[in-house]
């Protein structure tokens, strides 16, 4: 297990590479020679520079793109916070294996490898209204599982999740990390009715009260209020930074899972781009709090890494324009 204590994990979160200014500057110089008005491709130009910075290459590449979907089950579902029963998590993992989910189709179209990692699905986390979701050992094991999944031979990575009830811990984490009332961060998730939404808010308030002593520490918050798949996404996001792999963040749950890194280090999520803003009400607020403008706004709220995987096609487009467009000199086009 890479991390044997919270102190080890905290030290790893504070020791983050800054990325390559040289590679990003080389991309910017090339962009200014291509047959277009400067800046006319908008964020496609900055995406190319972002890839270069975090890959450390003057000419980025996307030969190997991976999508990791982490799956976990949650004890807080006992509070009636989801419209679906918890056994759906296992059933959907089987659906991923059979190729029948949305993420299977989106990964294929994006030219991305898909790896689904279930995390002790037969043993849900603790109901955080009654006890910590995870003790330190369980939390570190889940973080380490995510950390170990991401290796330096990946050019771009997307993270997804599957876990019935997991918008509740995501909203609880967001409330604990960024403040405000629980209602501000809590949405309908899988489609709960008004009574279900009220139960979610009540559960989050109870969890925040029970674990008040942990709220000053982002790692203790992630253990007390989170879930195994959220902890794994946190670990995988950290590993991506240490391995110089740029990250496309998916929806509300993935963003909340990664958010403790931003609270521990002011540039903790600099290697990430928000792929989309989901229809889950807290996601837009969370992206604003993190200073992460989304690439897409399509009203999606599926999870699975679906929005992140869809955005891979935009990143590929950015790289194709950067790498294959002719310069003014090559094309014989007059500059202004």
Asked whether residue 1 is domain-assigned, the answer is no
Asked whether residue 76 is domain-assigned, the answer is yes
Cβ proximity of 116 and 125 under 8 Å: no
SS (H, E, C) 248-305: EECCHHHHHHHHHHHHHCCCCCCCEEECECCCCHHHHHHHHHHCCCCCECCCCCCCCC
In the chain, the largest separation of any two C-alpha atoms, in whole Å, equals 70
Does the pTM surpass 0.85? The reply is yes
Asked whether residue 245 is domain-assigned, the answer is yes
Asked whether residue 38 is domain-assigned, the answer is no
Domain span holding position 247: 62-317
Name the residue among 247, 243, 276, 277 with its Cα closest to residue 262. Answer: 247
**Among positive and negative, which fits the CA dihedral 166, 172, 174, 180?**
positive
Is 304 in the active site?
yes
Asked whether residue 20 is domain-assigned, the answer is no
The domain total for the chain is: 1
Asked whether residue 305 is domain-assigned, the answer is yes
DSSP class of residue 3 equals -
Asked whether residue 44 is domain-assigned, the answer is no
d(CA 175, CA 106): 31
What CATH number is associated with residue 308?
3.40.50.10210
Q: Which of 136, 304, 320, 330 is catalytic?
A: 304
Asked whether residue 67 is domain-assigned, the answer is yes
Per-residue pLDDT of the chain (336 residues; tens, 9 = 90+): 789 999 999 999 999 999 999 999 999 999 999 999 999 999 999 999 999 999 999 999 999 999 999 999 999 999 999 999 999 999 999 999 999 999 999 999 999 999 999 999 999 999 999 999 999 999 999 999 999 999 999 999 999 999 999 999 999 999 999 999 999 999 999 899 999 999 999 999 999 999 999 999 999 999 999 999 999 999 999 999 999 999 999 999 999 999 999 999 999 999 999 999 999 999 999 999 999 999 999 999 999 999 999 999 999 999 999 999 999 999 999 988
The per-residue DSSP string of 201-267 comes to HHHHHHHHHHTGGGTT-HHHHHHHH--HHHHHHHHHHHHHHHTT--EEE-SHHHHHHHHHHHHHSTT
């Amino acid at each position: 297990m890479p991390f044997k204590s919270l102190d080890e994990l905290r030290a790893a979160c504070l020791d983050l590479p800054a990325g390559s200014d040289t590679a990003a500057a080389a991309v910017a110089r090339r962009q200014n020679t291509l047959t277009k008005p400067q800046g006319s491709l908008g964020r496609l130009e900055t995406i190319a520079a972002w890839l270069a910075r975090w890959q450390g290459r003057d000419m980025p590449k996307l030969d190997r793109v991976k999508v990791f979907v982490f799956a976990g089950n949650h004890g807080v579902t006992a509070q009636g916070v989801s419209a679906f029963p918890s056994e759906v998590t296992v059933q959907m993992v089987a659906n991923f294996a059979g190729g029948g989910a949305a993420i299977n189709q989106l990964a294929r179209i994006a030219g991305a490898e898909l790896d689904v990692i279930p995390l002790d699905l037969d043993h849900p986390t603790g109901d955080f209204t009654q006890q910590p979701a995870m003790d330190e050992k369980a939390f570190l094991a889940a973080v380490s599982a995510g950390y170990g999944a991401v290796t330096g031979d990946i050019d771009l990575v997307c993270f997804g999740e599957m876990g019935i009830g997991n918008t509740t811990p995501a909203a609880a984490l967001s409330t604990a990390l960024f403040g405000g009332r629980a209602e501000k961060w809590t949405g309908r998730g899988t489609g709960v009715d008004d009574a279900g939404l009220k139960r979610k808010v009540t559960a989050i308030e109870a969890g925040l009260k029970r674990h008040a002593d942990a709220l000053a520490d982002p790692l203790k918050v992630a253990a007390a209020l989170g879930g195994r798949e959220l902890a794994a996404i946190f670990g995988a996001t950290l590993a991506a930074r240490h391995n110089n792999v740029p990250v496309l963040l998916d929806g509300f749950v993935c963003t909340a899972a990664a958010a403790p890194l931003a609270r521990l280090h002011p540039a903790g999520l600099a290697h990430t781009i928000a792929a989309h803003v989901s229809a889950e009400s807290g996601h837009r607020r969370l992206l604003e709090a993190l200073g992460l403008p989304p690439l897409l706004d399509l009203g999606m709220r599926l999870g699975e890494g679906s929005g992140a995987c869809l955005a891979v096609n935009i990143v590929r487009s950015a790289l194709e324009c950067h790498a294959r467009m002719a310069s003014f000199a090559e094309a014989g086009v007059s500059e202004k």
